[in-house]
Amino acid sequence: MGYALSLPGGIDAGLAHGQSTGMDSTVPVARFSVPLGGQAIELLQVDYADAQLKFLRVRIREGRRFTVFDIDPDTAAAWAEAMLAWAAAHRETGTAGATP
């Protein structure tokens, strides 16, 4: 299975977005900025050619630190449902939110 290595300053030590080496490829899905805290969140579709698998890569940048993990479609659906339920229960009208 492939992995991603990110260096300080946002330099990827691997594939550029949308490029493939025959091993795996990434396709940008969405980007968000968290208003409080300033974290940058990036979602990428990762296609692993050798195993014909698709995952959603969640990449969170906090200053110079990155947290990167890949989740399967079932986990992504469960996470999305939980986040939507939480947002619906706690959203205030007029609250500034993240922009895609």
Residue range 35-53, pLDDT digits in tens: 988 999 999 999 987 777 8
pLDDT in tens, the chain (100 residues): 343 444 344 434 444 444 445 557 899 999 999 998 899 999 999 998 777 789 999 999 999 999 999 999 999 999 999 999 999 999 875 455 544 4
Name residue 37's amino acid: G
Yes or no: say if 44 and 22 are a contact pair by the CB < 8 Å rule: no
| The predicted structure's pLDDT at residue 94 | 45
Lookup: tokens for 13? 């030590």
Entry pTM: 0.65
| The predicted structure's pLDDT at residue 23 | 59
Yes or no: say if 31 and 17 are a contact pair by the CB < 8 Å rule: no
Secondary structure letter of residue 79 according to DSSP: H
User: In terms of Cα–Cα distance, which of 38, 42, 36 is closest to 10?
Assistant: 42
| The predicted structure's pLDDT at residue 65 | 95
